[in-house]
Amino acid sequence: MGFGTSAANIILFIATLIVATSVAAVLGTTTHKITIGLQAKEELLTKALSSDIEIINDPVVIPKQGNYYLFYVKNIGKEKILFDSTSLSVLIDGQLIPAANLTVTSPGNQGYLSLADVGTIGVMTNLTSGDHTIKVITYEGASDSLDFRI
């Protein structure tokens, strides 16, 4: 009877070790995945917080070239930002301007703005006389708005 009890205890002990090892492995893997996810989010957040723009037009005198109203955007952040018609969202008076109605020019037509660079956004739209608001949002999440008058 003593050997049977000892064998049962050894079997239960080994089963307990296997279960504990399995739980530890699952917790370790889960912790590792959470750490990787947090690192990726931290990188995105750092880039978003380091990106900033400013619309530097005179709000009373908006230049016009042909059918396009011209707006000047300056990168005042610490990171370069994508700057082309597919990476920007432009809203005038709350209405999204389609990319087909935008001309976006960066220095050297590189497609991005480095620190302190100024790019031009040409917006083809019909604006009535009076007060309007433009908002520019970059792919990185930086945005600025300007109240202007035509």
Could you tell me if 117 and 75 lie in one domain? yes
Whether this model's pTM surpasses 0.85: no
The verdict on 45 and 60 lying in the same domain is no
Listed in sequence order, the residues at least 6 apart from 129 whose beta carbon sits closer than 8 Å to its beta carbon are 150
Query: CA 60, CA 129: separation in Å to the nearest integer?
Result: 12
The domain tally of the chain equals 2
pLDDT tens-digit readout, 3-53:
677 888 888 889 999 999 999 999 999 998 998 888 888 877 777 677 899
Query: Are both 44 and 12 inside the same structural domain?
Result: yes
Residue range of the domain that includes 16: 1-50
- One domain, residues 31 and 87: no
pLDDT single digits (tens) 52-92: 999 999 999 999 999 999 999 999 998 899 999 999 999 99
| Residue-by-residue DSSP string for 7-31 | HHHHHHHHHHHHHHHHHHHHHHHHH
Q: Assess contact for 51 and 141: CB atoms under 8 A.
A: yes
One domain, residues 95 and 27 = no
